[in-house]
Structure 1
Amino acid sequence: MTVREKIEQFERLTLIKGAALSSQTKGREKEEILDDLRTCYMVDRDRILHCKSFRRLKHKTQVYIKTFGDHYRTRLTHTLEVSQVARTIAVGIGLNEYLVEAVALAHDLGHVAFSHVGEEVLDKFLSQGFKHNEQSVRVVKTLENGGKGLNLTYEVLDGILYHSGFANGIANAQTLEGQVVRYSDKIAYVNHDIDDSIRAGLLKQEELPKDILKVLGRTNSKRINTLVRDIVETTSYNIKKNIYKVCLSEDIGKALENLRDFMFKKVYLGERLRVERDKAKFVLSHVIEHYMKYPEEMPEMYKIIVEGEGLERAVADYVAGMSDDYCLNTFNRLYMPKFVIY
């Protein structure tokens, strides 16, 4: 018996009914020889960790535009926090930790430079619209590995695609593990963005809604602890009644939703960041405009996309992959003078 088969056997013995067993995966688009040491989801996790798109997350901002402090979150540290929250929840419920980890690490690979401002610009630019969750799937299926993709399992792709959104009626991931990542993403970013906003002087502790703090807790760690415990307890209780859906209790879920709404009004779309958001839109729009005029300046892979899927798609893929630093450097190279003009 191989190490992989021992892990698969351990999963069958320890995970709950409804968990995604590695041995029962729907497989990959291109069939592969099974690894002797790692399950399919462990293989996916490792491919994601070692891909270039993952490394670029360290230079993509989470909320703030070009912050210079060492302690602000980036898209990479956000991803690691989501993974930590999701794995804790998965273990608490009895789900496949490896699948959760793979989805969590890949969920934001398609995010654009300058946080949600970048997504807004590309959404207006691309005729069929742009959503970072769909772009994350495109990254791992089409753009990574020199255009070959990572050939991830169906369950990981499904979890990436449906990680986004918090409103009722939005489609859920087919696995409970994918649903865990969706909640973990919200739990992580709402709380760490509060921490960063207070550090940046954009928000004061006393401005946080007191009724919400009474339910969730006054500190970042207490709120995360409340949310994680509630989602484990509520989901586990529902599963005992044969309701296979990851969820929070009504009161805790409403408190998280209200806290998220508060952050959108006060910080994400607030007036204090409007000037910086407008600057970011200006930079991105001009970089897009340049490559629409001069597509021959893009790397070879994107020229192939031009031929197969059109110029608009190729430019969107290229710009979406840029980190904040790379996008700013590109803008400066294209539009700023190289010498002082007297």
Structure 2
Amino acid sequence: MQIRLEIEKREKDYLSPWAMLSSQTAGREHYEEPDPIRTVFMLDRDRVVHSKSFRRLKHKTQVFIAPRGDHYRSRLTHTLEVNQIAKTIGAGLNLNLDLIEAMALAHDVGHTPFAHAGEQILNQLLPGGFRHTENSIRVLTRVEQHKGRNGLNLTRETLDGVKNHSGYSYGDSKAATLEGQVIRLSDKIAYVQHDIDDSIRAGLLSLEQIPREYLNILGDTHSKRIATLVIDTINYTRQQINNQAELIKVKPSPEVENALRGLREFMFLNIYQGKVCQAERSRATFVIEHLFKYYTHHPDKMSQLYRQIADEEGMPVAVADYISGMSDEYCIEQFSNIYIPQSLVPVYDFQIFSEGPVI
């Protein structure tokens, strides 16, 4: 049964000349016999989906820490939205959707509890610094386990897309594949638009506050803005291909790109760096700093995997690995168990982030 070979033949016959073919992969760190059914990128996707780090994303913050409400985004729902947007763009450009999906589902597995607040705190505490993109690679190649070996042994193409998914420029992706460029852009499209949606739901923002110059270009509703960005990106990138551009960049047209950049800057100024997020950041700092200190002096409270990392790479690295893998809820729970008298826990439980508006 050689279903995989049939799939690889279809890729060669129908995908764009710019697409990354499964049969042309640069391979994995450790050689594996080919799967009879799944291509290498299908295997990557499946390993990510079945990993513990991926499952924990459901309880990791996107923007608001421990929000009260069923409809606010988590890091998992963000990941799924990135996947949907990226696959739509990828389909419009006739790229490898299995590779896109593997990258999309894996891109944020290294995110900390408490969103970028947690990342900033660990960056201060860990010698050498901490970045979630680099940590995602570390999770996929060191912390996760597969068949008794460190890491999931993903393809180099998937890891490259994860490594290069983040950054402030839109058309200057360092990703080695167009599929990786798609992920980089889709991540920005997703978080800017759904963070606007969540901020409006939380009462922290109104549509009237958003600069009209950007809405006139992108649209007044969440769905219209995403549709504009996706369709414009497909059309502008296809135009480059049709014009036989020497270097293809997956990006929107200049007008739409500037509107997206403007919305992103608006969100940073008014939400990400606003009073509510800053207040949550100070409380997250308090929790993570105390947990970092505690586990540094009590490594026996971490599992064997992290004690082994401590022996091989040093205690700060092991503690950062352990804390960065925690969900928001587990992080708060551990803080409560360690530092709050148990007689007060029923009263105190999960209230450390309850100040400010109920969201």
Query: Which category of TM-score, normalised to the shorter sequence, fits these structures?
Result: over 0.9
Amino acid at match of 1:325: E
Q: Do 2:170 and 2:251's aligned partners in 1 also have CA atoms closer than 8 Å? A: no
1:302 and 1:38 map into 2 onto residues whose CA distance is: 32
Q: Do 1:137 and 1:160's aligned partners in 2 also have CA atoms closer than 8 Å? A: yes
1:272 and 1:108 map into 2 onto residues whose CA distance is: 24
Matched residue, 1:107: 107
2:129 and 2:110 map into 1 onto residues whose CA distance is: 14
Q: Do 1:112 and 1:119's aligned partners in 2 also have CA atoms closer than 8 Å? A: yes
**Unmatched 5+ residue regions in structure 2?**
345-359
How many residues are aligned here?
340
Matched residue, 2:236: 234
1:298 and 1:209 map into 2 onto residues whose CA distance is: 48
How does 1:69-218 map onto structure 2 within 5 Å?
Answer: 69-145=69-145, 148-167=150-169, 171-218=173-220
RMSD: 1.3
Larger CA deviation: 57-66 vs 146-155: 146-155
TM-score if structure 2 supplies the norm length? 0.93
Identity of aligned residues (%): 52
Larger CA deviation: 50-59 vs 239-248: 239-248
Pair 1:260-2:289 in alignment: no
Per-residue CA deviations over 1:273-296 (Å, capped at 9, x if unaligned) read: 322221111111111111111122
Amino acid at match of 2:93: I
Matched residue, 1:10: 10
Larger CA deviation: 125-134 vs 170-179: 170-179
Larger CA deviation: 78-87 vs 147-156: 147-156
1:152 and 1:202 map into 2 onto residues whose CA distance is: 40
Matched residue, 2:332: 328
Amino acid at match of 2:324: A
**2:17 partner SS:** coil
1:45 and 1:258 map into 2 onto residues whose CA distance is: 33
How far apart are 1:171 and its partner, in Å? 4.9
How does 1:34-53 map onto structure 2 within 5 Å?
Answer: 34-53=34-53
Matched residue, 2:320: 316
Per-residue CA deviations over 1:265-316 (Å, capped at 9, x if unaligned) read: 1101112332222111111111111111112211110111111111111011
1:123 and 1:147 map into 2 onto residues whose CA distance is: 28
Q: 1:168 to 1:196 in 2, by over 3 A?
A: closer
Amino acid at match of 1:60: K
Per-residue CA deviations over 1:113-162 (Å, capped at 9, x if unaligned) read: 00110000011111111110110011010000276210000000000000
TM-score if structure 1 supplies the norm length? 0.97
How does 1:247-326 map onto structure 2 within 5 Å?
Answer: 247-326=251-330
How far apart are 1:317 and its partner, in Å? 0.4
Q: Do 1:239 and 1:245's aligned partners in 2 also have CA atoms closer than 8 Å? A: no
**Runs of 4+ residues deviating >6 angstroms:** none
Q: Do 1:59 and 1:323's aligned partners in 2 also have CA atoms closer than 8 Å? A: yes
How far apart are 1:168 and its partner, in Å? 6.5
Of 249, 267, 273, 1:245 maps to 249
1:70 and 1:169 map into 2 onto residues whose CA distance is: 35
Q: 1:125 to 1:139 in 2, by over 3 A?
A: same
Matched residue, 1:337: 341
**1:339 partner SS:** helix
How far apart are 1:262 and its partner, in Å? 0.4
